[in-house]
Amino acid sequence: MCGILALLGCPDTSQATRVRVLELSRRLKHRGPDWSGLHQHGDCYLAHQRLAIVDPASGDQPLFNEDKSIVVTVNGEIYNHEELRKQLPNHKFRTGSDCDVIAHLYEEHGENFVDMLDGIFSFVLLDTRDNSYIVARDAIGVTSLYIGWGLDGSVWISSEMKGLNDDCEHFEVFPPGHLYSSRDSGFRRWYNPPWFSQAIPSAPYDPLALRHAFEKAVIKRLMTDVPFGVLLSGGLDSSLVASITARYLGTTKAAEQWGSKLHSFCVGLEGSPDLKAAQEVADYLGTVHHEFQYTVQDGLDAIGDVIYHVETYDVTTIRASTPMFLMSRKIKSLGVKWVISGEGSDEIFGGYLYFHKAPNKEEFHQETCRKIKALHQYDCQRANKSTFAWGLEARVPFLDKEFINVAMNIDPEHKMIKRDEGRIEKWVLRRAFDDEEHPYLPKHILYRQKEQFSDGVGYGWIDGLKAHAAKHVTDKMMLNAGNIFPHNTPNTKEAYYYRMIFERFFPQNSARLTVPGGPSVACSTAKAIEWDAGWSKNLDPSGRAALGVHISDYDNQNNPVNNTVELEKIIPTEAPLGVAIQG
């Protein structure tokens, strides 16, 4: 993927404007260090910073159709581009880039082609025949995108906020699953899956169907002409991704170029839960494993850079982005250009520990819908920007459109956590990959309790952040927090500390409005706090805030007790794989 910037409908077409567009585009160079391009047509400018992954030799952008009347700048990966090319037999493609199909699909189908794309993308398409344009963002918002408006009537598009914040009167997050058309100067939703209405599904749980859908999602993402690896924390999600990748890599074109030996990467403080678990999974799968240790001080020193790159003051996002930011730099130094990662599973399957308190299947399902819709402001933003800070791309198979449709169509009764029956969080996913004959993972990894990334890298990380913030934010400063920051007022010293740094980089009111707010416990939405009366007194996004659920929760971390169900009770025996389990 890459970084894109567009200035559309600018009345000043002087050389100074071109120079300014180039200057702003260079703010995105970390996203695409391999090449840069700029195309101007009249009052429209389309710029691009390329990270070359598919067709590195000829896939430079902007891209064009045959007569160059259609111009496209794209940040994305189109996994079904080969199938789409076959549907366009009368078109001549200039490159082998997966994104080359976009201009030609527009020629055939007009603005209604976006749902045909299977992948992750943000793009600006200019039709020079009438000087119209469209802008679109992928279904869930895996790629980052912003839109802004100038006082002169211009429209700005950028992969990151820093590309347009200084030149727009107002700017905001471009909503995922939407298309913006100059023909009607407005947004419309192109992604309308059945789950979006939050209606309660009733399909039976079919473990094999779920397994095959996820395997397909992983395999399609192994499209590459450059070296890659897998992020491996040792938790369920990343371990499944690594297991499937290792199992099927040898059958892909990628193996023909780079071999079938998979490289895995993990980060953590010395002695952290993730480092130990990841090494065990790597040994089991036979990956070439790279373990990166960092200190609390390393992380504290990087906070300013993290906030600049990730463009947020959200506490849980910064906590988790920092180790990912540090690890990404190490990975890129090894010559790896993209990684496959496990974001999205907890939102789809109710994997966060607070889901233990969901009162019924309706509330459970509606909360998963809310979490998926908000992913672009949390985990997707972290995964995209903390890796792209170093020119490293992250691919996320759990957020595959087809897989989400399968997973979100399951009767949520099967996703409900019932500890007395041995059903822990994400039970349906664990069950789907519990294969006795050809095991994907060791049992105790397959049934390891959920650890949020910012916890799993070492509990000392969050504790160190809180202690550091307490040294820089006084009680007196907190008393005036509501006057200094009336929007999303920080209610902890840690939040206040991050907010001060964010405001230095992004002082505009539009910038602070791009960051979500509201109370949260263990990464819940504000609505889910109603599930437990005690949570309102213990608002912290760490998984350890799920009192009575996490085995090292804040009540028990100094004298832990084992609150988990014994492994023998967790392993399900209700039905063999391949039998759909009715609600």
Catalytically active residues are 2
Q: Which residues contact 57 (CB under 8 A, 6 or more apart)?
A: none
Burial class (CB in 10 A: 0-12, 13-18, 19+), 173: buried
Residue 267 annotated as lining a ligand binding site: yes
Tell me the CB-side half-sphere exposure of residue 321, using CA atoms within 13 A.
Answer: 32
Residues in the chain: 583
How far, rounded to the nearest angstrom, does the alpha carbon of residue 364 sit from its chain's CA centroid?
A: 22
Neighbouring C-beta atoms of residue 487, cutoff 10 Å = 9
3-state secondary structure of 104: helix
Alpha-carbon distance of 349 to 32, in angstroms, equals 33
Neighbouring C-beta atoms of residue 480, cutoff 10 Å = 9
Give 512's DSSP letter.
H
For the CA atoms of 425, 429, 432, 438, what is the dihedral angle to 10 degrees?
-90
Q: Which residues contact 562 (CB under 8 A, 6 or more apart)?
A: 551
3-state secondary structure of 374: helix
Alpha-carbon distance of 210 to 404, in angstroms, equals 10
Q: How many helices (DSSP H) and strands (DSSP E) are in the chain?
A: 22, 17
Q: Which residues contact 267 (CB under 8 A, 6 or more apart)?
A: 274, 291, 292, 293, 294, 323, 324, 326, 327, 330, 457
Residue 242 tokens read as 């690594």
Residue 364 tokens read as 């459970």
Residue 142 annotated as lining a ligand binding site: no
Whole-angstrom CA distances from 61 to 12, 22, 56, 112, 522 are 24, 14, 11, 23, 42
Residue 32 annotated as lining a ligand binding site: no
- Among the listed residues 84, 116, 108, the one whose alpha carbon sits nearest the alpha carbon of residue 97: 84
Alpha-carbon distance of 376 to 144, in angstroms, equals 8
Alpha-carbon distance of 308 to 497, in angstroms, equals 14
Burial class (CB in 10 A: 0-12, 13-18, 19+), 193: middle
Binding site listing: 98, 231, 267, 341-342
Binding site listing for L-glutamine: 98
Binding site listing for ATP: 231, 267, 341-342
